[in-house]
Structure 1
């Protein structure tokens, strides 16, 4: 009977450690940093399908997202999906929605919103389709591409033509 008690206490002790480590892992992935497997061509050539990127959540919590950051956002059209896009404009900015046209039209980004677009503008569903996105939908800021190893590194800055579209 004494041996059974020892086994029970050891099992409970191990379960306690497993629960503690699980809580630490959950809090880390939810509030500090995370990894994401990306799909779709909208961020090419910066991020390709099946690339694994590392994201951090502190920038969103402390409102430190800036123009040019690549972010993971809860999709405005399907809340079960997350999308990866680049922040083009912040609240209060006017962004050109048709840069290749002779007559330019500008969209105003209201308070508490951002304008996001994919780097591959010909193959991206983004703010040009559904308008400004609430800041609260931003999940995290992508800071590092981890996979594949041969293209691992920090995320590149935005193309120069993006900066010209915001006033």
Structure 2
């Protein structure tokens, strides 16, 4: 075979490489779009209601498979759409709180040591910001059985959070997803814990 007959091969190889590169880029962009649209979204923290777990200005990634494909769990930090009347004009449409009670749970506060109880089980909540001089995790008492299809949520900054104690339960259908990691600022990067060692001890209703 002559040198002239072998010349087209590098051209064909170059075209194949270019074609494969275009396919890879298109697939990567499509995958990124699908992930951002249907699986993971980023949210900005605008208030101090979840302090010190989340600070004003933090950004979190939210798993949108919760609660559709993955069930909600007590202790989850969730983003949900305003069910109506939680936010004022110009404050956006989404809120972030911690799941305290699932459908059917009885949530009450405050018992011995200032703890809240779920289904009669006192829960130790190390993430709660207490009021100075008080060992109570809530400034108000409550005792509620969570209706079917709804959840009871509370901020970790209990004395600076207008949550289910003020507005009532949240429809599960309004939950956007579970926040699982703080991504910004870099110094605040951390995986968000649901404190499973404590919450998994709560009995079913």
Q: TM-score, normalised by structure 2?
A: 0.62
Decide which of 127, 141, 150 is 2:178's aligned counterpart: 141
User: Structure 1 CA distance, aligned partners of 2:197 and 2:65?
Assistant: 27
Larger radius of gyration: 2
| Number of residue pairs aligned between Structure 1 and Structure 2 | 149
Q: RMSD between aligned alpha carbons?
A: 3.3
Closer, same or farther in 2 for the Cα pair 1:27/1:155, shift >3 Å? Answer: same
In structure 2, the gaps of 5 or more residues are 1-21, 111-115, 117-135
Structure number having the greater helix percentage: 1
Spell out the pairing of 1:14-163 with structure 2 (5 A cutoff).
21=29, 24-78=31-85, 81-98=93-110, 100=136, 105-158=142-195
Residues 74 and 199 of structure 2 are in contact (CA less than 8 Å); yes or no, is this contact kept in structure 1?
Answer: no
Unmatched segments (≥5 aa) in structure 1: 1-13
Contact between 2:142 and 2:165, CA under 8 Å: does it hold in 1? Answer: no
Q: Distance in 1 between matches of 2:163 and 2:40?
A: 24
Contact conserved, 2:53 with 2:156, CA < 8 A, in 1? yes
2: CA distance, partners of 1:122 / 1:135: 25
**Cα pair 1:52 1:148 within 8 Å, conserved:** yes
Q: Following the alignment from structure 1 to structure 2, what is the Cα–Cα distance between the partners of residues 49 and 164?
A: 31
Deviations 1:43-73 (A, max 9, x none): 0000011101011111211241100000001
Note the C-alpha offset of 1:25: 4.5
